[in-house]
Amino acid sequence: MPSLAITGAAGAIGSLLRTRLREDPGTDLVLLDRVPLTPEAANETVHTVDLTDGPGVAAALKNVDAVVHMGGIADEAPLADLLAANVLGTHNVLEAARLHGIRRVVLASSNRVGGFHPNSHVTTPEEPPRPDGLYGVSKVAAEALGRMYSDKFGVSVVCLRIGSFEERPSTVRELSTWLSPDDCVGFVRAAVAADTHFSTVYAVSGNKRRFWALPPAAFYSPSDDAESLGDGIDGELEPLAPQAGHFASAEYTERHL
């Protein structure tokens, strides 16, 4: 691809993608973040821009082939903040894609759009959302924007419902929800290249205990399993408890109301 943009390039996943994807032959990276960045390679261009700045986002995304949208707030927060960063920010990225005819937008959604499904249930992207908090609600809205821009304006969108992105699992829940760094990069590469117009995919490693359905192997087959790194993590999840774990508790959201 001639040019790939990454929003939220200073974040945990954005930083990983930056270092891995700039090594892909023929790829030029356009990096966006509200935190000032410095180019680290000849094939990097950086833009300091807040995603709520629609004209600034559109200017930064001009002439790119695809966008991996990782920017935004990644956890529970006041609703007004989430609406600005996650919903308006996503709208601005999609609107730039519409204006510039960008081939593909990969949206960072979250497993927490369905956090109230029970642990005993294998959840698919086709099921109704059951967000576990305000953050999950903002990601439901972001997915809906992606669907609307796909249906109405022909923008090609892949929504990745990202699992627990960590170097290694550290809790019983993460034995089900872990997304390894290697699989994270693999899912993003697959989402950029997929032969689809609109898709929603759970991005999770091939964990033996996972409770989210994996995409077809033709899309991507994860290579890691949390079980192989689970020594010292003991216990089982309550079958009828929410998949979101403590994120689904009332207290987790009440502090932001």
Per residue in 180-235, pLDDT (tens digit) is 999 999 999 999 999 999 999 999 999 999 999 999 999 999 999 999 999 999 99
| DSSP symbol at 61 | T
- Catalytic residue positions? 135
Distance in angstroms (rounded) separating the CA atoms of residues 138 and 25:
35
CATH code (residue 172): 3.40.50.720
pTM attached to this predicted model:
0.97
Instruction: Please answer whether residues 183 and 205 qualify as being in contact, where contact means their C-beta atoms are separated by less than 8 angstroms.
Output: yes
Distance in angstroms (rounded) separating the CA atoms of residues 18 and 38:
12
For the chain, how many structural domains are there in total? 1
Per residue in 146-170, pLDDT (tens digit) is 999 999 999 999 999 999 999 999 9
Instruction: Please answer whether residues 79 and 116 qualify as being in contact, where contact means their C-beta atoms are separated by less than 8 angstroms.
Output: no
Range of the domain at 23: 4-254
